[in-house]
Amino acid sequence: MTKSGTKARSTSRTIDDLLADFGTTMPRKTAPPPAPPAEKLFPNSIKAHGVRRPGHGWAPTMPPLAGYQMTSEETPVLWPLISGDGLPPWGAEMGYDVLSGGKFYCDPMSWVLDDTIPVTNPNIFIFGKPGRGKSATVKAFMLRMIRYGYRSLVLGDVKDEYEDISKFLGVDPFRIGPGLPGRINPLDLGALGVDWEKQTAEEQEKRATIIFNRWLMLIRGLVGSQGVSFTPTEETVINEVLQDLTGWSAGASRLKPVTIPQVWAALHSPSKELVNNNRYENPQAFYDGTRPLRDALGALCKGSLQGMFDSESTFQPDWRAPIQTLSLRSLHATGNKVAVGIALMCLNSWGQGIREAAAAGDRRIVLRDEAWLQTRLSLEAVEALDANLRLSRTEGDIQIVTYHKPSDPLSAGDQGSQAAQIAKDLLNLSDVRILMGQDESVADELGRLMGLSEMQQNVITNWAMQEKGRALWMVGDQRYKVQTLLTPLERRLTYTNEAIDPAG
């Protein structure tokens, strides 16, 4: 059987034989060229311990680096998982960098101090569609920075959503709103008024200038937000009124406290000097000329805002407490958005005054959540926020501002080119921007304003929309794809869906 089988196989015709009948042959693959001698990937490399040979010994320097040239598509094959310069493990541990798989830390003040990180101010702007986790990210950051000595000041919590955290930390939130007893005087002297008598005349002069400038900036914002122009004439009048009321123009050594109704009253029944100094012909001319200004200030003392910003402050911040929050929900609930914007402006100015003389090493996170409510009021309101943010470097605060979309700060007033320009400059006041999930419709706008590549825009419109807490972090010119993680306790403290969750 075997024999016959062998015979059968030996007589069978090969494919070549069969094809030969048709006058053709099988196409042959040409022999491959001889393989080049196997090359080592890293030739000439010397082990860190040097060469074990007489006369060689330990390497005094590190071995020379081998150079390679390849395209950016090829590099990840040899060096996978490296996505760019990582940030140092300093400050709040926020979550993880999905490109490198490493932990992601946030410590803006240390970033400013480190010249290798392209950040020159510690301000943070957070953008994101409602519900993507802007506030939760801020809350996690605040909580995690406590252990590094940071305390937080929430300037205007329009949803009272920082109250849970505040209570958890043992601090009673301060509430202001229609009918509530709390009062904030936006014209507080602030920290610069402390120990006034102990200062030299020169220092007092310097402090008075800062205080008057802050007040003027606030009044300009308040008046401008009601559509009343604040020209140099109005500025001079207000400046004089403020100097009179504080006693500064009469050479007083101590500045008297001032409130908005007092400023209003001084304009309502002007002194002879005020009329003459501002070159009005008579009190009636003054009265007529300053009517819009007076009415704009008067609006702060009636309606929704009555009893909130028109008398001495009743709130004395406890700077040793880990958090101080000023809740504005009851005002927000009235639905009067202009009033909320004005209230935020007053709180900002007050907050700035309170921080003006911060002791060195007093580290604070100052939050302006939902800042669009303020900046969309007017150009002056944008300028007021701009002035507040510029100070962070000198005061050592980390100022955080949250917005829905990048054009929110641009929606100031009537979109005049000046307003838009200042609002764009406002974006430049932060070197750290956190871009959370957004709809496609905002992607172009994001790309335009922030100089994002198409791929980065996609990160925001796709990847970041798939989970809460996902964001493209822009740290100077570096970009990180970060997932913020919340602990179970933080999830509870940051939960903001009570109103829409049937189980909640």
Ligand X SMILES: Nc1ncnc2c1ncn2[C@@H]1O[C@H](COP(=O)(O)OP(=O)(O)OP(=O)(O)O)[C@@H](O)[C@H]1O
In the complex, minimum distance from the CB of residue 197 to ligand X, in angstroms, rounded to a whole number: 45
The pair of structure tokens assigned to 290 is 């300053």
Q: By CB under 5 A, is residue 388 in contact with Mg ion?
A: no
Torsion over CA of 384, 389, 392 and 393, rounded to 10 degrees?
Answer: -110
The pair of structure tokens assigned to 126 is 């957070």
Q: In the block, which residue shows the tokens 């008024």? A: 193
- Residues 421-460, one symbol each (x = binds ligand X by CB under 6 A, - = not), give ----------------------------------------
Residue 469 near which of Mg ion, ligand X, none (CB within 5-8 Å, type-dependent)? ligand X
Q: How far apart are CA 345 and CA 343, in angstroms?
A: 5
In the complex, minimum distance from the CB of residue 155 to ligand X, in angstroms, rounded to a whole number: 16
Nearer to Mg ion, 155 or 238 (CB): 155
- If 0-12 CB within 10 Å is exposed, 13-18 middle and 19+ buried, where does residue 86 land? middle
State the helix-helix crossing angle for 201-224 and 291-298, rounded to 10 degrees. 90
Pairing label, strands 124-127, 397-403: parallel
* Pair 381, 167: CB distance under 8 Å: no
State which residue has the least CB distance to ligand X.
469
Query: Rule CB under 6 A: which of 298-327 touch ligand X?
Result: none
Q: By CB under 6 A, is residue 136 in contact with ligand X?
A: yes
> CA-CA distances (angstroms) from residue 193 to 207, 302, 332, 392?
8, 28, 31, 20
132, 207, 214, 355: which one binds ligand X (CB under 6 A)? 132
Helices (H), 169-254: 201-224, 232-246
Q: By CB under 5 A, is residue 204 in contact with Mg ion?
A: no
The residue range among 49-57, 293-301, 380-388, 490-498 that interacts with ligand X, by the rule CB under 6 A, is 490-498
Pairing label, strands 478-484, 92-97: antiparallel
The pair of structure tokens assigned to 363 is 């580290």
80, 101, 130, 504: which one binds ligand X (CB under 6 A)? 130
Q: What 3-state class would DSSP assign to 237?
A: helix
Nearer to Mg ion, 133 or 322 (CB): 133
In the complex, minimum distance from the CB of residue 439 to Mg ion, in angstroms, rounded to a whole number: 17
Pairing label, strands 92-97, 323-327: unpaired
Q: By CB under 6 A, is residue 484 in contact with ligand X?
A: yes
- What does R_g of the chain's alpha carbons equal in angstroms? 33
The pair of structure tokens assigned to 222 is 């308040």
Residue 486 near which of Mg ion, ligand X, none (CB within 5-8 Å, type-dependent)? ligand X
Question: Could you tell me which residues come within 8 angstroms of residue 9 by beta carbon, excluding any fewer than 6 positions away?
Answer: none
Nearest to 135 by CA among 475, 471, 478: 471
- Residues 80-119, one symbol each (x = binds Mg ion by CB under 5 A, - = not), give ----------------------------------------
Residue 446 near which of ligand X, Mg ion, none (CB within 5-8 Å, type-dependent)? none
Nearer to ligand X, 263 or 464 (CB): 464
Q: How far apart are CA 405 and CA 17, in angstroms?
A: 76
> What's 170's DSSP letter?
T
The residue range among 114-122, 123-131, 219-227, 240-248 that interacts with ligand X, by the rule CB under 6 A, is 123-131
Q: What 3-state class would DSSP assign to 162?
A: coil
Q: By CB under 5 A, is residue 484 in contact with Mg ion?
A: no
Q: By CB under 6 A, is residue 469 in contact with ligand X?
A: yes
In the complex, minimum distance from the CB of residue 136 to ligand X, in angstroms, rounded to a whole number: 3
86, 131, 298, 307: which one binds ligand X (CB under 6 A)? 131
The residue range among 73-81, 322-330, 408-416, 486-494 that interacts with ligand X, by the rule CB under 6 A, is 486-494
Nearer to ligand X, 381 or 486 (CB): 486
In the complex, minimum distance from the CB of residue 117 to Mg ion, in angstroms, rounded to a whole number: 28
State which residue has the least CB distance to Mg ion.
135
Nearest to 150 by CA among 434, 392, 366: 366
Q: By CB under 6 A, is residue 502 in contact with ligand X?
A: no
Nearer to ligand X, 123 or 494 (CB): 494
Q: Give the distance from CA 64 to its chain's centroid.
A: 43
The pair of structure tokens assigned to 364 is 């604070």
Query: Rule CB under 5 A: which of 125-144 touch Mg ion?
Result: 134-135
In the complex, minimum distance from the CB of residue 205 to ligand X, in angstroms, rounded to a whole number: 43
How many residues are given for the chain? 504
Query: Which stretches of the chain bind ligand X, using CB under 6 A?
Result: 128, 130-136, 468-469, 484, 486, 491, 494-497
Residues that bind Mg ion (CB under 5 A): 134-135
